[in-house]
Amino acid sequence: MKVLLLFASLIPFDSPLNNTLEYFQTRGLTPVYLIQPVDWSDVLADIETLLVKDEMLNPVDRGMFIFFGPFFKKNNLFNTTFTLNAGKKSTEFFGNFDFQAAGALQKHCTFAQGIRFHFTSQPDYAGPKPWKDIVQAYLNEGYIKFADNQTIFVVGRRNLLLGPNTDYSLLLSPAREGYDGILFSHHGKYYAFHTTFSVLDARKMRFLATHRIGLVLNKLQLGFSESILWAHDLEPLYLNPLLPYYLSQWGMDRNDNIMWSFDGIVNLRQTLIFGELLIDDYQFSEPPAGYTEYPHKLAFQLGLKKILGEKLFVKLRYTFVDKWVYSHELPYNTYEDDSLCLGFPLGNDVDQLGFDLRFYGIRKLFPKIKFEFVRKGEGSIYLPYEIEQGPAYPPFPSGNPEKSIDILIGLTYSPQSFLHINCEVGKKYFYNFAHHLSKNKTENQLNVYGWLIF
């Protein structure tokens, strides 16, 4: 394991290998990683441990280990990974070329670099400046890591998802190019602690800090997290991860944006249950001066992952975010960065029900079904209660909500450990599209793309 710590690069969020990790986690073979994307050093160390305990594995497990085999052969002192990914999603043609390099600087000190060149027919103008509306360069990773068996300190740029769900978090979800700052993590026998500090916008002086303390038992993990977003000055007190942000803000009489999050994971008999409760604001006293009522600002997600008969993977999840979550009366403290919500990607005034089904019983072929239902109200993270001055608890979702149903049937073909091909067909139904009453439409979907990893 000490040698594997030199393998410092990350598994990209959209890598097909994450589906394999999710299967192993539900089986209880590897831990649920609460800081994502996952570091290769952690994954390879956990898999190496499993290979020694062969009696715990079934034929499906052994067949899926081959996807990680090539990474054990890479040079720990310096290695590179190249990924080619291309295809068509809905009406967009795209291609990605990823380059990752990692290696050792000295004992317990490694570095990692990751760049993605994204070729597309529909540029993301909120992302990196495109060249001739064809290609954009995403600088995803660039950090130095100091690590031993229990403590990790990272400085530089890496992406972050903080929470029990592998898709998104209510507290902090992936950004377009990651977060610039520091990450500190320490794991004891029965507890885990981590903290982050990120510069969201150096020109506008916008910063984000988080910390989490968690209880870690054999089959159970519980945690409490706190995040704070502030602007205009670099407040030293918020850089101290050992002090509560809420009390720090209260003592200085500041008006910054604080989130509390409670999360939990339990894994019993190949059933993984996870949940997260986000408290943006909760009124435990009389409304502030000038208000007759003031809303609670709450969000939660619940999920279940289950392995049936060793071969069938089932995932069910539901997320609810009320109208006022992530908003703030001071515009520069809105919980967003580059027009993307830092928490739930769909923002506020929304709920989502998702169902995934994957079958692992056919060698090299993995059929799947995906269903998703979304209701999105007319609320916005940029329109806080203090500005709208409407009812504190409007009907949910508010106004004339847009509803969508997304149904996909797909097949992944993985003939080799370095090659993955995916095809999905389906339809997406919109009702009250763009919040216009009775404006409905249907979109046909054909997603075909492949991965080449070497």
Residue 214 CA to residue 32 CA, distance in Å, equals 13
Q: pLDDT tens digit string along 9-33? A: 899 999 999 999 999 999 999 999 9
Residue 147 CA to residue 105 CA, distance in Å, equals 12
Predicted local distance difference test score (pLDDT) of residue 413: 95
Q: pLDDT tens digit string along 302-347? A: 999 999 988 999 999 999 999 999 999 999 999 999 999 999 999 9
Residue 161 binned pLDDT confidence (cut-offs 50, 70, 90) = very high
Q: pLDDT tens digit string along 370-393? A: 999 999 999 999 999 999 988 999
Sequence-ordered list of residues with C-beta below 8 angstroms from that of 62, at least 6 positions apart, any chain: none
Question: Which tokens is 296 given?
Answer: 């609670």
In a 10 Å sphere around its CB, with 0-12 CB exposed, 13-18 middle and 19+ buried, how is residue 183 labelled? Answer: buried
- pLDDT value at 242 more than 80: yes
If you count them, how many residues does the chain have? 454
Residue 3 binned pLDDT confidence (cut-offs 50, 70, 90) = very low
- pLDDT value at 7 more than 80: no
Residue 322 CA to residue 397 CA, distance in Å, equals 8
Angle, alpha carbons 93-98-103 (nearest 5°) = 170
Residue 13 CA to residue 57 CA, distance in Å, equals 26
Q: Is 250 helix (H, G, I), strand (E, B) or coil?
A: helix
Q: What is the mean pLDDT of residues 252-256?
A: 95
Establish how many alpha carbons lie within 13 A of residue 66's alpha carbon, considering only the half-sphere containing its beta carbon: 13
Predicted local distance difference test score (pLDDT) of residue 234: 95
- pLDDT value at 184 more than 90: yes
Angle, alpha carbons 81-87-90 (nearest 5°) = 135
Residue 88 CA to residue 362 CA, distance in Å, equals 25
The pTM of the whole model exceeds 0.85: yes
Residue 69 binned pLDDT confidence (cut-offs 50, 70, 90) = confident
Predicted local distance difference test score (pLDDT) of residue 370: 98
Q: pLDDT tens digit string along 342-368? A: 999 999 999 999 999 999 988 889 999
Q: Where are the beta strands (DSSP E) in 271-349?
A: 271-281, 297-308, 312-321, 336-337, 340-341
With pLDDT > 70 as the criterion, what percentage of the chain qualifies? 98
Return the minimum-mean-pLDDT range out of 12-21, 45-54, 227-236, 359-368.
45-54
Classify 77 in phi/psi space as left (phi over 0), alpha (psi -120 to 50) or beta.
Answer: alpha
Predicted local distance difference test score (pLDDT) of residue 4: 46
